[in-house]
Structure 1
Amino acid sequence: MLAGCSSDEGAVGFGFGEDEVVQQNDLRSTIPYEVELTGIDPQEEQLIASLNGASTARRLQSRPTASRAGLQRRAEDDIERFQAVLRSKGFYEAQVTFDIAEKVSTDPVDAQSPDAEDGAGNASGKSTENKNGDIDGSAAGSEQAEGADAPTPLVLSYQIDVGTPYLIEAVDLKTTYPDKVIERAATDAELEATHLQIGQRATAEPIILAEQYGVDLLRSRGYPLAKAGKRTVMANTANKTISVTYAFNAGAEANFGTVKVNGAEEVDADFIAGYRSWGAGEKYDPEQVRTTRRDLAQSNLFDSVIVKPVGPISDSGEIPVDITVVERKHRSIGGGVNFSTADGPGANAFWEHRNLFGAGEKLRLGVEASGQEQGLTSEFRKPQFLRRRQALVAEGNAKNHDTDAYQGELVDSFVGVERRLGENWSGTFGFTAEYSDLTGADSPNEQFYLGGLRGILKHDNTDNPLDPTEGNRLELNVSPYVGLTDTDTSFTSVSLGGSQYLSIDDDGDYVMAARARTGTIIGEERGNLPSNKRFYSGGGGSIRGYEYQKVGPLADDGDPVGGRSVLEVGFEFRARITESFGIVPFIEGGNVYESNNPDDISLLWATGLGFRYYTAVGPLRFDVAVPLDKRENVDDDYQFYISLGQAF
């Protein structure tokens, strides 16, 4: 019983006699054989796979033995292995026997040969091994007759009677505390936490894993030095059940104590310690330790992070915590290129420092250039601003725009606070200022000085930023603006966008992806809005198949004028055909409306096919799209796009 619960497979050592060594180039001196398992329910797929994986005869089937006796030794070795596997799967009274017989030929010519069978119906001059491993027949029959062209193949057949599986009847806990020992049955909540159930089959793996779950449960209750003792398993052969008693040494209960940082070089040690998610003197909780390690790892400042309590517990009941880090390089440069028939060619480059003043401050400077816009960008982020999981963020941009919708200069800036609101939620709030001098259709006032607020609420639980296969994203943006020189100008822009990803296979090779966006502008008519604050649609980032910004109202000359509301939807089926290549059929639709509450939701649709080349940093995307609602003298027959990362 104890042996059955000491391994999830029950494998033992591999040892063979010297007579197992066979010269592979002398096939006449070996006897090929086949292996069969009988007596097992075909639905026990895991059990069958485990038996085949443990079998010496299976593993060495490509290296046949020189004699029937050699095959018998392999079979005898397998019996012990099979018994261990069966016990680990809950079959503690299983019986294993084997037979070795010549393979029955299905060739009519062989069946009619004079020496095929003797009068008793047995293979002439051969022997048959019974289930106890004894060889019947003459010794000479066990070897290949001299002068024969090839030995007759053998069949090694294991007969396995699994018997009645044993079930878990009881789970008891014996916990030793500094001042007492408590023995009791596990509660329903503790059984659930250790992934055990009364009445389940007594397989080794969950019984072994439950011990570590029990240790984790004690640590979650404030005992950081808890460890497992000797596990006891008792069998009731009459009822075919087992009882498991887990022994634990809880150690002393403790609160969080001092934090020591190891490995800090350029990053300030106090800043690193500030990532701890617990307060001074708070009761020990391993979940807080995991949260701290995750937040430090996500800071992009370190190659590795280890956060762990270290004993002993002090007389005041506090346990110190060590944070050990290995810093990564803090500076990087990079860039990229893209091209589409709608947006034209484009390129960008950036320089980034992720530890500007020694406390994780990130500064990123960039330059962008394309046929539609050229300019400079800057971003600054100071993490742990005033409190943990809160950052000071700032950005500024100075660009020249040259699109069909508007042309001119734009300078904008933002300063605010970004705060994590949970594991997958974040919020940003701050102040924005903007100057624009743009020439566009339906824009009587070309210069605007605007001040306003920006509030963003985000949710993201996807598994990969460039190529998600599971999860969803959501972003709500509310931005009120007022004119700084023209006090009559006042409007609020509201937009909501999201995407959903669903993998239809375990490996994430086939993914259904969908996205949607809607928005409205309240407070001003379209003609009184700056051209860049209106909604536009069309192009590689919205509705592929239509030119950039060309979905929606158009002026008499065909230039887009934008609108006060927008609606977009898109669907993709992402199929990864090989390790490096994939295809993505897609369909997208959308429209822009003059009013802030469109009278109808008529959409312009497009469809296409994408190709993906998967790289270490993300998929390289090539998409071809055609408009389904092509407008005469406005839309081209097709558009194509090249960039890094999925479309959404």
Structure 2
Amino acid sequence: MYSLRPIVPLLSLMVCLMVAGMVTSVQISAQTNGQAARNPNNIPYDLSLTGITGSLKTRLEGLSILIKDKKSPPRSYGALRARLEQDLKTFEKALRSEGYYNASISHQIDSSQSPVAITMRIFTGKQYKIGLVDLAFPGVRPEENVVEALKAAMTLAPGDPARAEDIVLAETAILSALPQLGYPLARTATRRVVIDHDTDSARITYRFDTGPAMRFGNVRFDGLETIKEGYLRRLVPWESGAPYDQAQVESFRRTLISSRLFGSVRIQFSDPLADLRAHTETIAPEMKITVIETDQRTISLGAGFSTSEGFGGDATWEHRNFFGANERLTLTAKIAEIEQSLVADIRKPNFLRRDQYLTGRVGAIRENTDAFDSLELNIRAGLDRAIGRYWQFGVATDLSFTDVKENDERRTFLLASLPLSATFDNRDSVLDPTYGLYARLAIAPHLAEQSGFFSFYKTAFDASSYLAMDKNKDILLAARVAVGSIIGAENERLPANRRFFSGGGGSVRGFGFQDVGPLAEDGQPLGGRSLFEASFEARFRIGEDFGIVPFIDVGEVTESTTPQFGDLRWGAGLGFRYYTSFAPIRVDIATPINRRPGDNRIQFYISLGQSF
């Protein structure tokens, strides 16, 4: 038996250490049984750790060189012992970092067995706790309210385990809080850890060089060419003279980047940091914001195909700074076998207040489907407001002139509606989400004129969720549900293009476009006043470029105002994905499970992006 425990005086031992170099009192003893073979080609072995369980055992096993290199046995007992000694040192350090400053380790090597049996017995002893935690400021001491805020931000408290990682994380938390409390130049001076073996505790002293207290000074923009400076100044989230807050600076930087107007944004002090550090009094340096404008116009093209909807394509032209204040004008033309449209959208950000958008739309849409033919002219104006990072609420006014031909009967409608919406979206991507939840509720009261006035209310809810089954997100489960209802008017009184339809690549795959739901005697879809849809996918990514997606869809459309779940249509199939740098190319092949007479056995879909 030999001991690594330091010799201490009889009086109370107080050892002052840095966390990175804490001295422990781990005891190590060794015993070897059996005879060593002479010059063996290799020496296979097994390692057993006893005395510990759970996460601590898992951690030591993950650190062990004996376990890591087990498949490459050493060629001599000297090499085997070298591995063992390396593990002993590693375990000693790991036990210290977990707060076990009085642990002991004994080991036994039984060379009479094959493979050689190595046993390590670990006695952790009591886990030391945090005693006192002190904050010291050798230079400028912050005001007491700032000190109290730092203590509240600290992630370490008396009684917590004296783990090295937690001690470092607490320092990081304090250092992250200081720039948000008016001290952007703060840095750590020293970290002092005192171990008291009499009380099995650790006293922590953090010393911070805060630098001078700061307030926001004037703002200067460099690099602007076409963007109005006055617009950007209205976006600045802080007031001149307010205490400096790094969180506001980062928020402003994200706002500028997300506008898609700039390829680069840099926010810094105009004065050199060394000059600022020399101050001891509160200062308000100028903030310099340097930007590089990016191209503000984009042209994009898209195309798709399905056996039920045929070929289709669209072209989009976008200008992201139409009037010089990040107004976004988008012109979209779509040409497909079932739909042709030309739509102009404009979106003005930060209208009257931050995070509020004024929106407008003018469009002409022609639809030629098995259910109806229609031509609609539409104009809309609305307000959207973002609340937090994930919520968005909207209200709009919508006027539409709609000419609909259904069953050889032509009707003309004048529609006024007040669409209301609430959306939650924390997905990591729109075209290829691997995480998050999307949910949207839309309610639209309508007033219609067609041979007299009538009204109806249309409500729709849809949601989708994504769950990765492994850390690389190569296996993903995805689910979607949609529910809708129309009340206030009979099905045949409604404009056909305002009813619910289901079936096709964006709803129930395996069935033709709009073919889920009630059908006329000649097989034409009638649409309905209620909708239910659900989809489930298992997305498997194979390597960097390819993926397969088995899926199942279900849906129902009825003429009643609520889903009845009595005539559900099921479709299933297999999808293939080719992953590009911007979005996956989707190819889905589906078949109806409960096929009706006249339904095709196979449907085929091609598009850009995941199905939902």
TM-score by length of 2: 0.79
Per-residue CA distance 1:496-529 (angstroms, 9 max, x = gap) = 2222333344443443333222223344333333
What is the SS of the residue equivalent to 1:87? helix
Structure 1 partner of 2:310: 344
- Unmatched 5+ residue regions in structure 2? 1-14, 25-38
Q: Map 1:467-616; keep pairs closer than 5 Å.
A: 467-483=432-448, 488-576=453-541, 578-595=543-560, 597-598=561-562, 600-615=564-579, 616=581
Structure 2 partner of 1:271: 231
What is the SS of the residue equivalent to 2:322? coil
Q: Displacement, 1:73?
A: 7.3
Per-residue CA distance 1:25-51 (angstroms, 9 max, x = gap) = xxxx99756677665636434542564
The reply to whether residue 293 of structure 1 matches residue 253 of structure 2 is: yes
Per-residue CA distance 1:2-59 (angstroms, 9 max, x = gap) = 7662289x9xxxxxxxxxxxxxxxxxx9975667766563643454256436x9x978
Q: Displacement, 1:70?
A: 7.9
- Structure 2 letter corresponding to 1:542: S
Q: Map 1:120-519; keep pairs closer than 5 Å.
A: 161=122, 163-164=124-125, 166-176=127-137, 193-251=153-211, 253-307=213-267, 312=276, 318=284, 320-441=286-407, 444-445=410-411, 447-483=412-448, 488-519=453-484
Structure 2 partner of 1:6: 20
Structure 1 partner of 2:96: 87
Alignment CA distance shift 1:480-1:77 (3 Å): closer
The CA distance in 1 between the partners of 2:562 and 2:83, in whole Å, is: 79
- Structure 1 letter corresponding to 2:328: K
Per-residue CA distance 1:265-305 (angstroms, 9 max, x = gap) = 44444434433333455444443333323333322233444
Q: Displacement, 1:548?
A: 0.9
Confirm or deny: 8 A CA contact 2:128 2:162 kept in the other structure.
yes
Confirm or deny: 8 A CA contact 1:79 1:97 kept in the other structure.
no
Confirm or deny: 8 A CA contact 1:441 1:561 kept in the other structure.
no
Q: Map 1:70-85; keep pairs closer than 5 Å.
A: 83-85=92-94
What is the SS of the residue equivalent to 2:304? strand
Confirm or deny: 8 A CA contact 1:338 1:642 kept in the other structure.
yes
Confirm or deny: 8 A CA contact 2:508 2:571 kept in the other structure.
no
The reply to whether residue 52 of structure 1 matches residue 64 of structure 2 is: yes
- Structure 1 letter corresponding to 2:434: T
Q: Displacement, 1:420?
A: 0.9
Confirm or deny: 8 A CA contact 1:33 1:61 kept in the other structure.
no
The CA distance in 2 between the partners of 1:221 and 1:181, in whole Å, is: 9
Q: Displacement, 1:552?
A: 1.9
- Unmatched 5+ residue regions in structure 1? 11-28, 107-154
Q: Displacement, 1:389?
A: 1.4
Q: Displacement, 1:372?
A: 0.7
Confirm or deny: 8 A CA contact 2:486 2:529 kept in the other structure.
yes
Alignment CA distance shift 1:436-1:481 (3 Å): same
Alignment CA distance shift 1:386-1:500 (3 Å): same
The CA distance in 1 between the partners of 2:491 and 2:83, in whole Å, is: 86
Q: Displacement, 1:234?
A: 0.2
Per-residue CA distance 1:107-138 (angstroms, 9 max, x = gap) = xxxxxxxxxxxxxxxxxxxxxxxxxxxxxxxx
Q: Report the structure number with the largest CA radius of gyration.
A: 1
Per-residue CA distance 1:424-476 (angstroms, 9 max, x = gap) = 1112223323233231238552x233343332221112222123233222222
Q: Displacement, 1:391?
A: 2.0
What is the SS of the residue equivalent to 1:6? helix
The CA distance in 1 between the partners of 2:17 and 2:424, in whole Å, is: 49
Q: Displacement, 1:371?
A: 1.3
RMSD: 4.1
Alignment CA distance shift 1:369-1:180 (3 Å): closer
The CA distance in 2 between the partners of 1:620 and 1:358, in whole Å, is: 35
The CA distance in 2 between the partners of 1:466 and 1:630, in whole Å, is: 31
Q: Displacement, 1:423?
A: 1.8
The CA distance in 1 between the partners of 2:68 and 2:551, in whole Å, is: 48
- Structure 1 letter corresponding to 2:601: D
Per-residue CA distance 1:170-193 (angstroms, 9 max, x = gap) = 242224397758999x99x97774
Which has the higher mean CA deviation after the structures are superposed, 271-280 or 238-247? 271-280
The CA distance in 2 between the partners of 1:336 and 1:2, in whole Å, is: 67
Confirm or deny: 8 A CA contact 1:175 1:250 kept in the other structure.
no
Confirm or deny: 8 A CA contact 2:304 2:312 kept in the other structure.
yes
Confirm or deny: 8 A CA contact 1:564 1:593 kept in the other structure.
yes
Structure 1 partner of 2:3: none
Per-residue CA distance 1:197-231 (angstroms, 9 max, x = gap) = 54444332221121010122344444444433311
Structure 1 partner of 2:33: none
Confirm or deny: 8 A CA contact 1:178 1:252 kept in the other structure.
no
Alignment CA distance shift 1:30-1:208 (3 Å): farther
What is the SS of the residue equivalent to 2:20? coil
Q: Displacement, 1:264?
A: 3.8
Identical counterparts, % of pairs: 35
- Structure 2 letter corresponding to 1:496: F
Confirm or deny: 8 A CA contact 2:592 2:602 kept in the other structure.
yes
The CA distance in 2 between the partners of 1:522 and 1:175, in whole Å, is: 68
The CA distance in 1 between the partners of 2:64 and 2:224, in whole Å, is: 51
What is the SS of the residue equivalent to 2:190? coil
Per-residue CA distance 1:45-92 (angstroms, 9 max, x = gap) = 454256436x9x978997978x88788778777766664444334344
Structure 2 partner of 1:646: 610
The CA distance in 1 between the partners of 2:157 and 2:470, in whole Å, is: 29
Q: Map 1:30-45; keep pairs closer than 5 Å.
A: 41=52, 43=54, 44-45=56-57
What is the SS of the residue equivalent to 1:293? helix
What is the SS of the residue equivalent to 1:477? strand
What is the SS of the residue equivalent to 2:418? strand
- Structure 2 letter corresponding to 1:87: R
The CA distance in 2 between the partners of 1:442 and 1:168, in whole Å, is: 83
What is the SS of the residue equivalent to 1:274? helix
- Structure 1 letter corresponding to 2:518: P
Confirm or deny: 8 A CA contact 1:412 1:433 kept in the other structure.
yes
Confirm or deny: 8 A CA contact 1:261 1:273 kept in the other structure.
no
Structure 2 partner of 1:637: 601
Alignment CA distance shift 1:300-1:493 (3 Å): same
Confirm or deny: 8 A CA contact 1:606 1:625 kept in the other structure.
no
Alignment CA distance shift 1:33-1:640 (3 Å): same
Confirm or deny: 8 A CA contact 1:3 1:84 kept in the other structure.
no
TM-score by length of 1: 0.76
Give the length in aligned residue pairs.
574
The CA distance in 1 between the partners of 2:120 and 2:355, in whole Å, is: 62
Confirm or deny: 8 A CA contact 2:516 2:569 kept in the other structure.
no
